[in-house]
Amino acid sequence: MTDDNLYRDFILEHYREPHNRGVLEPHDLHFADSNPTCGDEMSMTLRLDQARERVTDVAFDGRGCAISQASASILTDDLRGLTLGELRDLDPAEVVANLGVPIGPARLKCALLVYKVLQGAVRGAAVGWPEEADVLAGGNAGGSAP
Amino acid sequence: MAVGQVGAPLLDGAALRADFPVFERPTASGRPLAYLDSAASSQKPRAVIEALADAYAHHYANVHRGIYELSVDADSRYEAARTAVARFIGASSPREVVFVRNATEALNLVAASWGGANLGPGDLVLSTEMEHHANLVPWQQVARGTGATLEYVAITDDGRLDLDDLRARLARGPKLLALAHVSNSLGTINPVAEITRMAHEAGALVVLDAAQSVPHMPVDVTALGVDFAALSGHKMLGPSGIGALWGRRELLDAMPPFLTGGSMITRVTLEGAEWNEVPWKFEAGTPAIAEAMGLAAAIAYLQSIGMDRVRAHERFLFERAWASLADMPGVRLLGPASPDEHAGVIGFVVDGIHPHDVATILDREGIAVRAGHHCAQPVMLRYDLPATTRASFYVYNDLDDVERLVDGIRTTQQVFGTA
């Protein structure tokens, strides 16, 4: 895979017309976080079922680059029906791999901002960034890494 | 030195690139590196790299305390570097030049040492909305610690300091004004001599963040009239880990030390210590010895070109880049349009495309630019932008780099379908 694949059409489509964009009112969970290296901000609202166990609906909001927006659009598509436990156990490497394009260290936080916001929402407090080595080691094409 | 409307830039960027080994490095794009991120950090000429190696190979020992030949050699070269910095910025004495790690440390030194000793509840300190975080957060911290009030001089829509706002705030008797000579995010060149005159009339000292000016234009701290100035070696072709604070001798003399320990004392007992004279009072511990020698080599390299020519060259590239970018649909430029008021730093946004994406696509063309908030988040807030893309010029850039930048932005717009 070459770096040329980063802006593949489906990434740009998710960027131009992101899925699950907006703010759910009312909601059960809400969290906002940012990527300090670029100033991007993202918030997420989730609705849970009556048992407060499974996600029934999710939306994200904020502004960011094509990678962060596409990553949020793609991940939030997959969250409905998952339990809070399953959300907590989400593997950040999988979030990056699901993007289907090579993500190098320079753009890793863009791809993971939605993961960070989601974990904050589930845990009720901000979580740290996943370790770069843990996320990029899992056979993901190295992207633009030198 | 003026640049005409037509004609070649005064420096041959391509020829100068031969002095910088980094340009021999291939890029993944297959094209030569177009390095447009010198405002973040500059590349190093062979003369500086060799001076660093030579320092470690032939002139290295600890400074200040050795009796033996090698230490005397290291010490004299370290102090010669101090003299080189003093001459380069028009300081009246090398004793007014304190070696620090970088401009950030220099500004922290002034804030903590001068601010800690001279500020108290009810005192007013001014900074500006266009500052790099390095000239903003230290003042927030010292204000918090001393009870002083910190206010910011406003900036105009086209990225200038609002001098009416400055005048109004100076009328309230601030003790100090901290400002950038050149804004790292907007490229604005502030009229420092005029501002300093205004500040002094109001009784305020002036702390100048000269990190973006000293590398790129003739700077004479005596002519500007400021009281302190901060610079970083790594932005002026020198090594990282070395920078300087210049301050008026009487101010430095009266200030308490910043860091304490070895070298900065004359006498220590278990009960207390007496401080060394300036500048050594502010240089606790073993300093960046080889890096100081590397900085001296960088200064010699810049002087061999001449700072007037460096400035004229960057002004030429700025004018060409600004004219081309201003003509592009969907590109918005930040900062003043006049080349008299704008250094070789261009912040811009491309409609509908995040700066990170712009930078990534430019990177694929072998063009290195910076995207983000440039450590100036209040500036981004002021213009309601999450981030910008920034291209900055130096001696090794030329019109080819400008053309590649413009073409690369066009390519970015094509990829995103906004062109």
Q: Given B361, B372, B416, which is nearest A38 (Cβ)?
A: B372
**Radius of gyration, CA atoms only, chain A:** 15
Please report residues of B whose CB lies closer than 8 A to that of A144.
28, 360, 363
Mean pLDDT lowest among B157-161, B268-272, B320-324: B268-272
Residues 6+ apart with CB under 8 A from B321: B346, B391, B393, B402, B405, B406
Cα(A57)–Cα(A48) distance, rounded to whole angstroms?
7
Say if the Cβ atoms of B372 and A66 lie within 8 Å.
no
Look up residue A74 and give its amino acid: I
Of B360, B363, B386, which has the smallest distance from its Cβ to A40's Cβ?
A: B386
Decide if A26 contacts A10 (C-beta within 8 A).
no
The residue-averaged pLDDT of B104-118 equals 98
> pLDDT: is A117 or A2 the higher one?
A117
For chain A positions 32-61, those within 8 Å of chain B (CB to CB) are 37-41
CA B387 to chain centre: 20
Listed residue (B237, B233, B186) closest to B390, CA to CA: B186
Identify the band that residue B8 occupies on the pLDDT scale cut at 50, 70 and 90.
Answer: low
Average of per-residue pLDDT across B1-10 = 50
CA of B164: how far to CAs of B73, B161, B194, B308, B340, in Å? Answer: 52, 9, 13, 31, 20
B204 vs B176: CA distance, rounded Å: 4
Tell me: the pLDDT tens digits for B202-252?
A: 999 999 999 999 999 999 999 999 999 999 999 999 999 999 999 999 999
CA B367 to chain centre: 22
Per residue in A58-92, pLDDT (tens digit) is: 999 998 999 999 999 999 999 999 999 999 999 99
Q: How does DSSP assign B195-252, residue by residue? A: HHHHHHHTT-EEEEE-TTTTTTS---HHHHT-SEEEEEGGGGTS-TT-EEEEE-HHHH
Task: List chain B residues with CB under 8 Å of A3.
Answer: 28, 364
User: Taking phi first (over 0 means left), then psi (-120 to 50 degrees means alpha), and beta for anything else, what does residue A20 get?
Assistant: left
In this prediction, residue B65 carries a pLDDT of 75
* pLDDT score recorded for residue B265: 84
- ipTM score over 0.85, yes or no: no
pTM passes above 0.95: no
Q: Please tell me the distance in Å from B316's CA to the nearest CA on chain A.
A: 30
Decide: B331 and B350 in contact? Cβ < 8 Å.
Answer: yes
pLDDT of residue A111: 94
